[in-house]
Chains A and B, each alone.
Chain A
Amino acid sequence: MEALTPVIAVLLALAIGAIMLLALQVNPATAYAALADGAFGSTFAVAQTLVKATPLLLVGLGICIAFRGGVINIGGEGQIIVGALATTAFTLGFPDAPLLVLLPGGLICGMLVGGLWGGIAGVLKARFGVNEILTTIMMNAIAVQLSNFLLRGPMIDPKEIVSGTLLAQSARLPETSWLPRLIPQTLLHAGAIFAVVMAVLVYVLLWRTVLGYRIRAVGLNADAARYAGIRVPVYQALALLLSGALAGLAGAVEVLGVSHRMMEGVSGGYGFSGIVAALFGKLHPLGAIPASVLFGSLLVGADKMQRAVQVPSALIDALNGLVVLFVVGSDILVRRRAQRRREQEPHA
């Protein structure tokens, strides 16, 4: 029953969405059929869904680690951006390096710098007790401005200067650094497989390693962890760092797999949607896989729906918002009810 809660939440959100569609004098059945068709109707559609699901999954995995460690990472956007910047800088810096250096090197750079971005918030929390929600959000703003500066200055594509269009984007990455395509004629790239492998690795990290044990202990009961001699701030900081590293990896995968260059808007809201995907997956790395596919399909299918039934794009945002609201809300509701049941039970 409890496993079904998120599914019911999504259905309820779609039901409210149907009312909104009716108010716009659109047939909800047609609209939702277009949505499903857009997300899963063809090989290309499925591939698109998976392309969107990939960064969602990577960010979501990071969120799993952070939330399991009792820290909240709202900085996915910024971490994606700096990860993507670092990957771009590395691959453009060594364009002639062989694939075996360029691709792993690019991915690692994205992870490291994303981890650094999350780690800064972690250290601030550990050393000075600064609230990580605030710092991660502020680090988002810093990342956006840093990207603006670099893409208009040092990292701008020289061709943009020559042509005078001055679009804020980097040069195209060397082809040796691209993630290989999985299905020809589609954008689906090896990053999708990579993300699933990461999900398994994060599962192993959380439940099979000392580090994961400590992160979970700290997240579930910091008092008991401290009493048992675990250095709580260290593991909170590490959880934020790992969380940032996975978001940075998402940025790396986006530039190496999809856009093949750094440009504005590379984070595409994944830093926030990834949180929802992780919550939808019950903060379990393997649960995050289907959750990411679902939210990826909503993103892709909504495009099709918008075109098919001519609804304003604001409605698509509203629909996404409803799903988020219902999923997170149902989670809170379930937890509250469980707690009330516990309190009702006789004690003392």
Chain B
Amino acid sequence: MVFPKTPMAQLPTGRDRIEELRMVGITKRFPGVLANDRVDFDVRAGEIHALLGENGAGKSTLMRQLCGLYKPDADEIHLNGALRHFNSPADSIHAGIGMIHQHFMLVPALTVAENVALGLSSSRGPLLDLDRVSKRIDELGKRYSLKVQPDAQVWQLSVGEQQRVEILKALYRGAALLALDEPTAVLTPQEVGELFKVLRQMAADGHALIFISHKLHEIIDVSQRVTVMRDGRVVSTHPTAGSTRAQLASEMVGRPVILEYEKKPYAPPVVGEAPRLEVDDLWVRGDRGRDALRGVSLEVHAGEILGIAGVSGNGQRELAEALTGLRPVAKGHVRVNGRDLTHASPLQRIAAGQSAIPEERMKDGVVKDFSVAENLILQDHGHAPFSRGGFMDPTAITRESAALVKGFNVKTPTLDTPTKNLSGGNIQKLILARELSRKPAVLICAQPSRGVDIGATEYIHQRLLEQRERGMATLLISEDLDELLALSDRIGVMYEGRLMAVMDRAEATLARLGLLMAGVSS
């Protein structure tokens, strides 16, 4: 393709536009994995191109090659028609490519201006030029409605504001093409709306934008084209207009996907029936000694799923840890099946009929160097049938774990395979198999589908609903509102250590939850 040698059109930032970026036949192999297999991808000035795929589909690998973090095995990257090689992040930044990572790369103790200027040479040589930087941030902020105070310290900013700083940083460095990796994962629905406004403005100004996500409605909402990846390959690239969630989901997974579960209506508890899980005015300290939970009260009845929504870091983690005995309770009461377990050890809680699915499954959920079978007996190894008189019974362990692996569809080559070799989804199914096989009365379930592929998520959700019908009381803590809305009978929102409101599923709308997540209670 030959481009005219006329001067490139410029962006409002004064930089040349990237009219077209084409990645052709990108192949990247890791030991044992073909992470990118002849991937073709392109993005043009003025468009938002969504990159959709499950964990491990190769999206991040593709982007890392674009920003010079990985060297492709076979590559052709054309920028405005010219072949380019990005050997380092500096190369790609210089070419006008900016990347907003899922985890922000900001120094909390520095101001916004300092963060933006970090690593760049000053226009005054050895002297700082932070006043000029601040002025420029203000200009850029006005242009793209990215409101931030240049002299505010980053740690004081909300997650949404920090993301704006990241975008400003990229614009300041002259990015004409911006790739955003799961930018909405940490935002409230309102913040997502604001981000989309910014992205549309940038596209209208002639920026090229790559929007990486696995949230279907967001992709439909914001993008003009979508590329779906699966197992390292591009499945399809097509205009977003006219696509449905179901269609995108099945492209992503490779088979039809259920997005709405059939759920039996929830029967309100019989009057006088005691709740399975009661939490009364719970106060818990966080890691830094400040109150992370400030008087949380809730109850979950048999056959009910109570969802807990909230932006990460508002006490959900501490709530789960307090209820599983990992974090001491400062004040308040916890009862399971009427028994006071406020200060009980994990062992006593398990004995009382409580199971738990931890938020960090590789840290708390499994011993990654243990075999699949060994992990399936992590709680129950101490008694029959798994052991007798202090000696393990390998026959019984093999028999029972084979049944669990089969019953919960855990895909593993053998029972002796080290658990770390399994995919995230299969590890989560393993944990689910172990926890649900005890037929618990109460389940504390934190972020069950985080980092889990759609197939496994669907499976896990149906298993949770199945247990709900059996009468299990579930406390479901999740940052995924779709998940909460699909499963919960009631939903509560946590904000700064308090449970803002608990409402019936029917009353819960994205808008209402979003306001509560931002701390607006009226």
Contact = CB atoms under 8 A, between A and B. Distances in A.
A228 B391 contact: no
Interface in B204-219: none
A228 B382 CA distance: 11
Given A217-B378, A224-B363, A229 B347 contact: yes
Contact of A224 (B324, B345, B364): B364
Given A223-B364, A227-B324, A344-B30, A210 B346 contact: no
Contacts of B60: 346-348
A345 interface: yes
A221 B365 CA distance: 10
Contacts of B356: 227
Contacts of A344: 30-31
Contacts of B365: 224, 227
B462 interface: no
B370 interface: yes
Given A209-B392, A217-B367, A224 B378 contact: yes
A97 B42 CA distance: 89
Contacts of A213: 374, 381, 392
A162 B60 CA distance: 83
A227 B358 contact: yes
A220 interface: yes
Nearest to B364: A227
Interface string A5-38: 0000000000000000000000000000000000
A211 interface: yes
B105 to A, nearest CB: 15
A65 to B, nearest CB: 16
Nearest to A204: B391
B350 interface: yes
Contact of A226 (B55, B102, B326, B451): B326
Interface residues of B, number: 38
B179 to A, nearest CB: 14
B404 to A, nearest CB: 15
A231 interface: yes
B369 interface: yes
Contacts, number: 88
Given A346-B60, A347-B55, A347-B60, A228 B31 contact: no
Given A210-B391, A346-B61, A227 B56 contact: no
A341 B33 CA distance: 12
Nearest to B386: A210
Contacts of A224: 363-367, 378
B347 A231 contact: yes
B232 to A, nearest CB: 9
A208 interface: yes
A342 to B, nearest CB: 8
A225 interface: yes
Interface string B266-299: 0000000000000000000000000000000000
Interface in A290-348: 341, 344-348
Interface residue SS majority, chain A: helix
Contact of B387 (A210, A216, A227): A210
Given A208-B392, A221-B363, A346 B33 contact: yes
Nearest to A213: B381
A207 B382 CA distance: 14
Contacts of A228: 346, 350, 378-379
Contacts of A225: 367, 378
B30 A346 contact: yes
B392 A223 contact: no
Nearest to B380: A228
B390 interface: yes
Interface in B315-350: 324, 326, 345-347, 349-350
Contacts of B391: 208-210
Contacts of A341: 31
Interface in A94-123: none
B136 interface: no
Interface in B350-370: 350, 356, 358, 363-370
B58 interface: yes
A215 to B, nearest CB: 12
A221 B390 CA distance: 21
Interface string B26-60: 00001101010000000000000000000110101
A287 to B, nearest CB: 17
B90 to A, nearest CB: 21
Contact of B390 (A211, A220, A230, A348): A211
B489 to A, nearest CB: 27
A227 B55 contact: no
A62 B102 CA distance: 46
A208 B390 CA distance: 9
A226 to B, nearest CB: 6
Nearest to A221: B367
A248 to B, nearest CB: 22
B364 A348 contact: no
Contacts of A221: 363, 366-369
B382 to A, nearest CB: 5
A3 to B, nearest CB: 17
Contacts of A210: 381-382, 387, 390-392
Nearest to B30: A345
B346 A226 contact: yes
Contacts of B346: 226-229
Interface in B366-404: 366-370, 374, 378-379, 381-382, 387, 390-392, 394
A348 B102 contact: yes
Contacts of B349: 229
Contacts of A230: 347, 378
Contacts of A220: 367-370
B468 to A, nearest CB: 23
Contacts of B369: 220-221
Contact of B363 (A207, A209, A223, A346): A223
A224 B363 CA distance: 6
B367 A348 contact: no
Contacts of A211: 390
Contacts of B345: 229, 231
A69 to B, nearest CB: 13
Interface in B5-38: 30-31, 33, 35
Interface of B: 30-31, 33, 35, 55-56, 58, 60-61, 102, 324, 326, 345-347, 349-350, 356, 358, 363-370, 374, 378-379, 381-382, 387, 390-392, 394, 451
Instruction: Give the top 5 A-B pairs by smallest Cβ distance, nearest first.
Output: A229-B347, A228-B378, A221-B367, A227-B364, A229-B346
Interface of A: 207-211, 213-214, 216-217, 220-221, 223-231, 341, 344-348
14 contacts: A208-B394, A209-B387, A210-B391, A210-B392, A211-B390, A213-B392, A223-B364, A224-B364, A224-B365, A226-B326, A227-B346, A228-B379, A230-B378, A346-B33
